[in-house]
Amino acid sequence: MAGQHDDHDHDDHAHHDHPHHHFHRIHSEAADALLMSIADIEISARVKALEELLTLKGLVDPAALDAVVDLYENQIGPKNGARVIARAWSDPAYKKWLLEDPNAAIADLGFTGAQGENMVALENTDGVHNVVVCTLCSCYPWPVLGLPPVWYKSMPYRTRIVRDPRSVLAEFGTVLPDTTEIRVWDSNSEVRYLVVPRRPEGTQGMDEAALAGLVTRDSMIGVTEALTPEPAAEGAP
Amino acid sequence: MNSVHDCGGFDGFGRVVPEDYDGREPVFKEEWERRMCGLFMITIGAHYSDDEFRQSRERLEPVKYLTRPYYEQWWFAVARLMMEKGLLTPEEFARHLAAGRAAAGNADILAGDA
């Protein structure tokens, strides 16, 4: 009973001094109750209802929604990052700039925007292989890679890559020598990483566009290496 | 916050299974994923911050966090934030959801769920 009384006093006090806090907690409890009560209704209907209601209230413009989805589905993606890597492979001065000031070097190719404000470029070498994860959620460098693949957001990847990276990389077909050091970088809400894969053998003389074709999304996350060119692509005799 | 989202190093989640090879997967597999992603992108910044969104997702009940699809977790996170901020009420959301499903001919299914 004493506890109840204390709680009551506390609530009155909170209501008096911090009314916003008090209302927020009520909203939170009511929201939680509703969300759990409808959690098993098909998700397509729940998403539709949320979009419709926010639209009716003027909080969402469906045309703006269509436009932003088109941007991330059709325009922003790993082709952006591949251009950055191909430039770095082709131009030593650009590569130095990319490693020292990645925000500026990436913006120089026109790639800026949300979830890429603080970039770090990680150079793979013969002795060091870098791989990126977000253990806490799904942080990813959108301007250069687009939206992350399902496996990047999955529990198996998030749990294991930090503990047993060599085995996880092997499951992606990336078998590294025991002497290669593997560095795992855990992204966060501020810092996003872009791996600069090693330039493959047999690519001398290839122009940037051809080189970009060898740079895969997965190689820029660091779970694979860049593709090696098809023999035919090395040029006719 | 200390919960299942802080999962780095946990055992028992099995092998990583890429759904397809390297970038050829569709960005969205279903229309509701596309709409949910768009809803997030045009409401974040305007109505809540990155950190609020992340924390809202982390407050999802742990079993649901581990079992519900990624963009469904976003639905929970965004719907919760909109309600907590008073931008929509649980009651009006429940009404709108029920009305929409009734209009779609799902009234009997809704009754079955309740």
pLDDT, tens digit, 9 for 90 and up, residues B59-103: 999 999 999 999 999 999 999 999 999 999 999 999 999 999 888
The first and second tokens of residue A153, run together, are: 């957001």
Residue B111: per-residue pLDDT: 52
Q: Which CATH class is domain A77-234?
A: alpha beta
Per-residue pLDDT of chain A (237 residues; tens, 9 = 90+): 333 333 333 333 334 444 555 556 778 899 999 999 999 999 999 999 999 999 999 999 999 999 999 999 999 999 999 999 999 999 999 999 999 999 999 999 999 988 888 999 999 999 999 999 999 999 999 999 999 999 999 999 999 999 999 999 999 999 999 999 999 999 988 899 999 999 999 999 999 999 999 999 999 999 999 999 987 544 444
ipTM, two decimals: 0.90
Q: What is the pLDDT of residue A116?
A: 84
C-alpha distance from residue A160 to each of A14, A97, A182, B13, B65 (Å): 44, 33, 14, 8, 18
For an interface test with A, give the residue of B5, B22, B25 to mutate (most A CBs within 10 A): B22
C-alpha distance from B95 to closest chain A C-alpha (Å): 10
User: Residue B110 has what pLDDT?
Assistant: 52
Residue A147 pLDDT: 94
Q: Looking at the complex, does the CB of residue A192 fall below 8 Å from at least one CB of chain B?
A: no
Kindly indicate whether the domain formed by B31-88 is annotated with CATH number 3.40.50.300: no
Give yes or no for A35 touching B (CB within 8 A): yes
Calpha distance A158→A136 (Å, rounded): 8
Q: Chain B residue closest to A37 (CA)?
A: B114
A139 is catalytic: yes
Chain A's closest residue to B110, CA to CA, is A41
Q: Is A137 known to be catalytic?
A: yes
Q: What is the DSSP string of chain B?
A: --STT--TT-S-------SSSTT-S-S-SSHHHHHHHHHHHHHBTTTB-HHHHHHHHHTS-HHHHHHS-HHHHHHHHHHHHHHHTTSS-HHHHHHHHHHHHHHTT-HHHHHHH-
Confidence of residue B7 (pLDDT cuts 50, 70, 90): very high
Residue A3 token pair: 């506890």
pLDDT for residue B97: 96
Question: How many Cβ atoms sit within 10 Å of the Cβ of residue A179?
Answer: 7
pLDDT at A113: 87
| Chain B residue whose CA is closest to A145 | B23
Q: What residue spans define the domains of chain B?
A: 31-88
Residue ranges of chain A that CATH labels 3.90.330.10:
77-234
